[in-house]
């Protein structure tokens, strides 16, 4: 069963919407279930000032996207890069075993949006964790 935090973020999702002139954007889908997430980051001086999302997905996916925007707002991009799917699950007080994968949508979109930002700025140095760029599958690109 879902935690109170998951239910709260699902019923009252934070930071829903589109961010015009976003500095980092990602569209990630899960081909297994068809859920997808758009994430928009506003970044000033390497710090995330705004995060917005649009999601078509299950309650867990919506809650994960919502809490991801809360976790990263105000963070330096290098610290935001370290936000993992485990951190997202922890921030929600846990997810049922069969819903653990839903957190991947938030974390993958976050990393893809940060990569988009790094590419736009022609950032030379790699992100601190050494993680590779999230690769979209053919289904995710559609
Ligand atoms: Fe697809 Fe939750 S069931 S992300």
Q: Could you read off the pLDDT of 105-131 as tens digits, one per residue?
A: 999 999 999 999 988 887 666 555 555
pLDDT at 106: 94
Q: Which two tokens stand for residue 68?
A: 């991801």
Identify the sign of the CA torsion 133, 72, 29, 84: positive
CA distances from 80 to 24, 37, 46, 57, 90 (A): 13, 18, 10, 23, 15
Tally of structural domains, the chain: 1
pLDDT at 140: 47
Q: How far is the CA of 56 from the centre of ligand 1 (A)?
A: 9
Q: Catalytic annotation on 33?
A: yes
CB atoms within 10 A of CB 27: 16
Cβ 41 under 6 angstroms from ligand 1: no
Cβ 106 under 6 angstroms from ligand 1: no
**Looking up tokens 């980051």, which residue turns up?**
41
Domain span at residue 19? Answer: 4-141
Average pLDDT over residues 84-93: 95
Q: Ligand 1: which of 30, 39, 107 to mutate, judged by most atoms within 8 Å of the beta carbon?
A: 30
CATH number at residue 46: 3.90.1010.10
12-71 pLDDT, tens per residue?
Answer: 999 999 999 999 999 999 888 889 999 999 999 999 999 999 999 999 999 999 999 999
Q: Are 61 and 101 in contact (CB under 8 A)?
A: no
Q: Catalytic annotation on 102?
A: yes
Percent of the chain at pLDDT exceeding 70: 86
């Amino acid at each position: 069963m879902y935690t109170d935090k998951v239910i709260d973020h699902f019923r009252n999702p934070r930071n829903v919407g589109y961010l015009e002139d976003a500095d980092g954007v990602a569209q990630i889908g899960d081909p297994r279930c068809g859920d997808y997430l758009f994430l928009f980051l506003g970044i000033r001086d390497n710090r995330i000032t705004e995060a917005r999302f649009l999601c078509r997905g299950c309650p867990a996916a919506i809650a994960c996207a919502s809490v991801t925007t809360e976790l990263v707002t105000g963070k330096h991009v290098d610290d935001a890069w370290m936000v993992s799917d485990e951190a997202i699950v922890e921030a929600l007080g846990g997810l049922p075993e069969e819903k653990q994968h839903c957190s991947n949508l938030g974390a993958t979109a976050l990393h893809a949006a940060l990569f988009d930002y790094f590419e736009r700025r022609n950032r030379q140095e790699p992100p601190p964790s050494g993680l590779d760029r999230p690769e979209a599958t053919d289904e995710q690109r559609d």
